[in-house]
Amino acid sequence: MSIQDLWQDVQPRIEERIGSQNHEIWVRPIRALGMDGDELELEVPNRYYSDWVRDNYQEIFIEELARAFGRPLRLRFTVESERQASPKAASPPAQAHRVPAAQSSRTPVRSRLPRDKTFDNYVVGACNKFANAAALAVADFPGQNYNPLFVFGGTGLGKTHLMQAIGNRMLQARSDSGVIYTTAEDFVNDMIRALRFKKMDEFRNRYRDSADMLLIDDIQFLSGKVRSQEEFFHTFESLKLAGKQVVLTSDVLPREIEGLEPRLRTRFEGGLLADVQAPDLETMVAILQAKAEAMRLPIGHDCALWIASRVSGNVRELEGAINRLAALGSFYGDAITVDFAKQHLSNLLVQTPEAVSPERIIQVVARYFNIKISDLKGQRKLKGIVQPRQIAMFLARRHTDLSFPDLGRAFGGRDHSTVQHACKKIGGLAKSDPDMQNHLQTLERSLGLSR
């Protein structure tokens, strides 16, 4: 058996352990290059793949390879671009940021990109770890790996910070790069002004010819705007054809944007979809403490915990609470304590974390699986609806005190035995199926729950 055959032989077991989605994204692109004694060399697309795999899957690789090979192996990860750039390679050294030579001397495009939004001050947790890794790969290898990168999630979860960090990292590496950051609303307004004053050539030159990277926030704003979507489609195609990077953010998945042309939806979905979930309590505390430290505002752990538990996973709301405490602390000259926070934030923050109800669980599950709430409560028995419905029932049973009959009524008047069957089935899958484990963990984070 060749080393390539050995690597392929362990793939089904690896996929079974980490789930098909993680396998498709992180393992399938890896190639086995060869063996040197007991060391297996694996080639990964870039160094962020290498870091991610080492942190998350290396031990699984070693265990499955030992089972197939008959003895333990050591792993060495080689980055594809670095290997091609070595003196032994015939091709010229690869550059992390490729800017066409004809454009390298042009005046850089001025953007409204705030320079304080970087990866260094972006707090990473389980809720955004995947999106952060994808964003880093895009920032260092624009136009090569994930194009477009489509980051989606609820409001106030840090999507804009992540997008701006991508642009700042590219500008740090190449200050003359054409990085355009804007919102979909401003894109539409720019186009309207260009049409009004007959400056469409200037508009197209800015967004197509002068850009090496286009960052557009809140792309869902294009909903229903036919002329703007037409112009953006051609802008997108021009940039993609030229190997230039496009990064988009949205509150929802492409398919959930009403009034979005099918050709745009399919192109958005043809890139990498990376979701940003509501952070868990520990991540919220870490974000709060990081922001307080940047403001040189001393906040103890107890106070941070009290605030974070009442913000419901919204980072923007958290920032507002910190800014208010900083201003009031400076005005009164008082230390920031739990009592001080209770006194001055009680009218802004909920006093107890939001309760979990079947209705809230149904809403979160429906959005996660991109199906209608009416379908979760209804009688349709399509495969794409039945399992999400069972997952919602399982979560409702796990995280509420309602009886099986009560839960049956919450899910459209079903018999209690239907809920019991759903809980038993999903509970069994949760013990053995990595994909189901990932679904449940992600949904529980979105609900602000941890187990």
How many Cα atoms occupy the beta-carbon half-sphere of 393 within 13 Å?
Answer: 33
Residue 325 has pLDDT above 70, yes or no: yes
Type of residue found at 226? V
For residue 429, CA distances in Å to 79, 391, 435 come to 36, 10, 9
In the chain, the percentage of residues whose pLDDT exceeds 90 is 28
Architecture of domain 129-275: 3-Layer(aba) Sandwich (3.40)
State which amino acid sits at residue 405: P
**Lowest-confidence segment of 110-119, 223-232, 420-429 by average pLDDT:** 110-119
Distance CA 180, CA 86 (A): 33
pLDDT band at 81 (very low <50, low <70, confident <90, very high): low
**pLDDT higher than threshold 70 for residue 82:** no
Q: Which residue has the higher pLDDT, 245 or 109?
A: 245
pLDDT score at 354: 55
Q: What is the mean pLDDT of residues 8-24?
A: 83
Residue 72: pLDDT above 50? yes
* Model pLDDT for residues 34-44, shown as the tens digit of each residue: 888 888 999 88
**pLDDT per residue over 281-297, tens digit each?**
788 888 888 888 888 88
State the CATH architecture for 358-446: Orthogonal Bundle (1.10)
pLDDT, one tens digit per residue, over 352-385 is 445 688 888 998 888 778 788 888 888 887 777 8
Q: Please state the rounded mean pLDDT for residues 26-40.
A: 86
pLDDT score of 160? 93
Q: What is the average per-residue pLDDT within 61-89?
A: 75
d(CA 121, CA 114): 13
Q: What is the pLDDT of residue 87?
A: 45
pLDDT band at 129 (very low <50, low <70, confident <90, very high): confident
Report the candidate in 214, 287, 274, 210 with the shortest Cα–Cα distance to residue 247: 214
pLDDT band at 111 (very low <50, low <70, confident <90, very high): low
Beta-strand relationship, 39-44 and 74-79: parallel
Residue 88's pLDDT band (cuts 50, 70, 90): very low
Rg of the chain (C-alpha set): 25
Cα(92)–Cα(94) distance, integer angstroms: 6
Q: Is the pLDDT of residue 74 over 80?
A: yes
Q: Is the pLDDT of residue 60 over 80?
A: yes
What's the mean per-residue pLDDT of the chain? 83
Q: What is the largest CA-CA distance in the chain?
A: 74
Cα dist from 288 to 157, 285, 421, whole Å? 13, 5, 42
Residue 229 has pLDDT above 90, yes or no: yes
Which of the following CATH numbers is that of domain 281-345: 3.40.1710.10, 3.40.50.720, 3.40.50.300, 1.10.8.60? 1.10.8.60
Dihedral sign for Cα atoms in the order 375, 379, 383, 387:
positive
CATH 3.30.300.180 domain position(s) in the chain: 3-84
Q: Which residues contact 426 (CB under 8 A, 6 or more apart)?
A: 390, 391, 393, 394, 436, 440
pLDDT of residue 135: 92
Domain ranges in the chain with CATH number 1.10.1750.10? 358-446
**Is residue 85 over pLDDT 70?**
no
Looking at residue 92, its pLDDT comes to: 35
Which residues, 6 or more positions from 8, have their beta carbon under 8 angstroms from its beta carbon? none
Greatest mean pLDDT range, 67-81, 208-222, 349-363:
208-222
Whether residue 411 contacts residue 358, with contact meaning beta carbons closer than 8 Å, is answered with: yes
Q: Is the pLDDT of residue 333 over 60?
A: yes
> What's the pLDDT band for 392 if we cut at 50, 70, 90?
very high
Chain centroid offset of residue 81 CA = 25
Q: Which candidate, 182, 171, 115, places its Cα nearest to that of 140?
A: 171
Is pLDDT above 90 for 351? no
Question: In the sheet where 74-79 sits, what is the strand order?
Answer: 31-36, 39-44, 74-79
Superfamily of domain 3-84: DnaA, N-terminal domain (3.30.300.180)
